[in-house]
Amino acid sequence: MSLQVSWVRHRDVHLLTVGRYTYTSDQRFRAIHQPHSEDWTLQIKYPQHRDSGIYECQVSSTPHLSHFIHLTVIEPDTEIVGAPELFIDRGSTINLTCVVRHSPEPPAYIFWNHNDAIISYSSSRGGVSVATERGDKS
Per-residue pLDDT for the chain (138 aa), expressed as one digit of tens each? 578 999 999 999 999 999 999 999 999 999 999 988 889 999 999 999 999 999 999 999 999 899 999 999 988 888 989 898 989 998 888 888 888 888 888 888 888 888 999 888 776 666 777 777 777 654
Whether the Cβ atoms of residue 79 and residue 101 lie closer than 8 Å to each other: yes
**Integer CA distances (angstroms), 133 to 9, 41, 100, 127, in order:** 39, 37, 11, 20
Is 97 part of any domain? Answer: no
Say how many domains are in the chain: 1
CATH classification at residue 55: 2.60.40.10
Q: What range does the domain containing 52 cover?
A: 5-71
C-alpha span between 130 and 93 (Å, rounded): 13
Instruction: Tell me whether strands 113-114 and 117-118 are parallel, antiparallel or unpaired.
Output: antiparallel
Is 87 part of any domain? Answer: no
Q: Please tell me the predicted confidence (pLDDT) of residue 52.
A: 97
Is 42 part of any domain? Answer: yes
Is 23 part of any domain? Answer: yes
Is 127 part of any domain? Answer: no
Is 65 part of any domain? Answer: yes
Is 81 part of any domain? Answer: no
Whether the Cβ atoms of residue 27 and residue 11 lie closer than 8 Å to each other: no
pTM beyond cutoff 0.75 = no
